[in-house]
Structure 1
Amino acid sequence: MRLILLAAMMCGVAAGAHAADLSDLPILRGAVTDGMTTSQVNWQGFYVGGQGGYGSSDENFSGSNANMLAALLDHNVIQQMDVANWNLGLGKQSSRSSAYGGFAGYNWQWTDVVIGLEASYLHGSFGGMSQASKELVSGTALTDGFFHDVAVNSSAAIAISDMATLRARAAYAWGCFLPYAFAGVALGNADISRTVVVHDAVSNTINGPFTPLGTLTATQVQHNHLVYGYSGGLGVDVNLIGGLFMRAEWEYVRFTSAVDTSINTVRAGLGYKF
């Protein structure tokens, strides 16, 4: 924040001095100076930079293992207990992580309006895990003539180590400031694991004793799995000197994979426009 205030003061001093110098020239007095734009920085061209930040990831695990459980119990007698639709309590989880990376892009400028394309990259440790279990005894004998005591253990986890966004930017140049908004597509590198374990026991009566019948297990592990989604956010670039500029930004990313994940990050960066 101090750096942004200092940059604003420098811009104000420079702009005031520049305006004073121009006002001394008779040819630039009157209508000509009235037509000057608010922007005095050339933002057009290629630029690169580095960034660091901090963010939170929110995972919604609800229903993430439902298809695995349904496939595991396909044509199994205990599916008469509607086990695949049990609410196992795999809910929402949140975590936080620092991150670092870089960005590169190109700007086109028309007077004070700036349009650009940019690629942004972050490396961090975003994700979480959830696990739950439920046990139920059938209220009546199933079609096999037995009462069943069914216990289900379910777990899911996601870890996103790298994410990149390709976004279109729209900005308005005001002195040395370039506030902007952006939207685009997001790609991520994720490790995803999901496990379902079903224990089944049977009895001739609802009160037991129950005899273990067997255990069914389904596991799916995906390493370096490509996840995709969309992103959007707001930011501001501040010209410091020459082509050097600093940046403050907020970005929202949502990945619609097997585990619905949303990531919010705030970042600070330093870049150079060629």
Structure 2
Amino acid sequence: MRRFLLAAMMFGAVTGAHAADMPDFLRGSLPASSTPTRNWDGWYAGGQVSQSWINTDFGSSVVSLTNSIFRNTTLQDATSQLNVLGRVNGHSSGFGAFVGRNYQYDDVVVGVEANYNYWSGLGGSTSASLGPIQVAEPTLVLPVGATAADGVSLNGNATLQVRDEMTFRGRAGWATGNFLPYIFGGLAVGRMDVARTVSSSVTRTINFADGTSTSFVLPQFTQTVTDGRTSNFVAGWTAGLGLEYMLWGNVFVRGEWEYVKFMSVKNTSVTQNTVHAGIGYKF
């Protein structure tokens, strides 16, 4: 019995000595990270280069023009339903700058930012023809058994260019080591040039009960209407995600994907996908 107790005491002493020399993680605790989380709190500013892809929907661009040509007639409603033009995709490079303020709470970083981008030829143009589309004219006073229809032909073209834009964002991220992944969302304001033109012609055909018919052009509807405006300020919204990495000192680099949807301007709507690469300094 005394030999057993002596052996147990010696085993316990040796085990305790070895335990004191064991690594922290074998004693039930993880070692501290070798890369401490950076301090992102404070003001920052920087510059960026960008590549943007734009989708412009010209489907309703000439509706207000055809409404003007055919106002107060039976053709106004019918022509307003026609999509003379379609969608156009375009892309462009650009450059800009950003400035913002971070607030850090442990590893959580929230903040606000203003972001500006100038674009070189971001936009698109399109042209198309439609018709003749036959529109019945049931309200005309005609001989018994006769019917009438108007054949409407439209030729349209439109262009849109985004000159530059600003976004005002709120953002939230998670600081880990030198990295700061984040998401953002907010308001966008773009400066755009828009122009559109439509030409119309209408040929009326009257079919008589005896099988004969006659056709003639309605000169009051042979028109060309043009409308355009430069430097339209168009509001919208933005959302996206990004990643920042602290290089050295307070210098950081960033990469972003951003989606912007603008409100309709001159019956034309624009959506935009952009990637940004930038470098900045935290004060």
Normalising by the smaller structure, the TM-score range is 0.7 to 0.9
C-alpha spacing 1:200/1:142, structure 2 compared with 1 (3 Å): farther
Q: Could you tell me which of 180, 185, 188 is aligned with 1:186?
A: 188
Q: Which residue of 2 aligns with 1:237?
A: 244
Question: Superposition RMSD on alpha carbons, in Å?
Answer: 2.7
Report the Cα offset of residue 241 of structure 1. 0.8
C-alpha spacing 1:55/1:79, structure 2 compared with 1 (3 Å): closer
Q: Could you tell me which of 52, 72, 76 is aligned with 1:75?
A: 72
TM-score calculated relative to the size of structure 2: 0.76
Contact 1:56-1:264 at 8 Å conserved across structures = yes
Distance 1:50 1:34 in 2: 38
Distance 1:212 1:228 in 2: 41
The runs of 5 or more residues in structure 2 that have no matched partner are: 1-26, 143-147
Distance 2:76 2:274 in 1: 43
Within a 5 Å distance, the mapping from 1:202-213 to structure 2 comes to 202=204, 208=214, 210-211=216-217, 213=219
* Residue identity in the other structure for 2:116: Y
The runs of 5 or more residues in structure 1 that have no matched partner are: 1-29
Q: Which residue of 2 aligns with 1:261?
A: 270
Q: Could you tell me which of 113, 116, 123 is aligned with 2:111?
A: 116
Residue aligned with 2:61, SS: coil
Report the Cα offset of residue 143 of structure 1. 1.7
In the alignment, structure 1 residue 98 sits paired with structure 2 residue 100: no
Within a 5 Å distance, the mapping from 1:137-216 to structure 2 comes to 137-138=134-135, 143=140, 148-202=150-204, 208=214, 210-211=216-217, 213-214=219-220, 215-216=222-223
TM-score calculated relative to the size of structure 1: 0.79
Report the Cα offset of residue 84 of structure 1. 2.6
In the alignment, structure 1 residue 270 sits paired with structure 2 residue 279: yes
Q: Which residue of 2 aligns with 1:52?
A: 49
Distance 1:78 1:264 in 2: 38
Identical positions, percent: 34
Q: How many residues align?
A: 243
In the alignment, structure 1 residue 247 sits paired with structure 2 residue 244: no
Measured against aligned partners, the alpha-carbon deviations of 1:180-224 in whole angstroms (never above 9, x if no partner) come to: 100000000000112222113445558655346242233221100
C-alpha spacing 1:187/1:211, structure 2 compared with 1 (3 Å): closer
Contact 1:38-1:112 at 8 Å conserved across structures = no
Report the Cα offset of residue 68 of structure 1. 2.8
Q: Which is greater in Rg? A: 2
Distance 1:79 1:32 in 2: 78
